[in-house]
Amino acid sequence: MVLAAGADPDNEGSPDSGANRTLQAYHDLRALILSGHYEPDSRLTESGLTTQLQVSRGTIRSVLARLAQEGYVTTEANRSARTRSFSVDEAIEILETRAVLESALAAKAAERATEADIAAMTETCKRMWDLQVPGGREEYWNLNRKFHEQVKRAARQATLTRFVDSLLYPLVMQQYRDADRRANPRTDSVREHEAILAAIVTHNPESAAAAMRHHLSSARRALQLNFPTSDDQRDLRKG
């Protein structure tokens, strides 16, 4: 990644150059957070980010304010921030919301997918099977993200896509996936992706929505099985 740079971080120059530098710093820091460069609940300081991104403290403050508004970080009183950390209950809510929205996207993809869209998704599913081996976990998750992005693109529905992208789902999965140290992904996960693809190939919106809903519900159940919610823990105490 090429980070934003300037000859003098404290010299903002023209208003346009300052705005461009702020936007670039925002995209750079957001990409670092989404990539897992920082652990959940990591402290981000103005001084450290100024050095890392090569921009002024004023620019960093603007960037952190925007990221806090969008939910990527939480701000602190001493001009620092922390990357988001999600409780199990928060994670479950995000997964439930994602299931509703992505099911609608899958239905639209079934209506609108082109031959090129279908070919790309088919290739992704084939590669997923190849990674059902020890050591294939990380690349499998990359392909999983790629498949869902391909469904979004095939749907060609900008409003739904914006809502899905606002859910911070990548941060949730990064936090809980890294805490789950199973060597291999669920075998059923590939079959679930293939069921979504089959419904899109046959241009069946209802089946595509149902297949996506089942797939994401399986992911939610897997998370609950490994990380009990507060309701689950209360039930255990009562028992």
Residue percentage of the chain with pLDDT more than 70:
85
CATH number for 15-83 (one of 3.30.530.20, 3.40.50.300, 3.40.50.920, 1.10.10.10): it is 1.10.10.10
Q: For residue 196, give the nearest of 117, 130, 142 by alpha carbon.
A: 117
User: Average of pLDDT values for 9-15?
Assistant: 52
Which CATH number is associated with domain 88-230? Answer: 1.20.120.530
How does pLDDT run across 144-174, given as a tens digit for each residue? 999 999 999 999 999 999 999 889 988 988 8
How does pLDDT run across 57-96, given as a tens digit for each residue? 999 999 999 999 999 999 987 778 999 999 999 999 999 9
**Domain spans of the chain, in order of start:** 15-83, 88-230
pTM: 0.76
Higher-confidence position of 143 and 233: 143
Separation of alpha carbons 120 and 39, rounded Å: 32
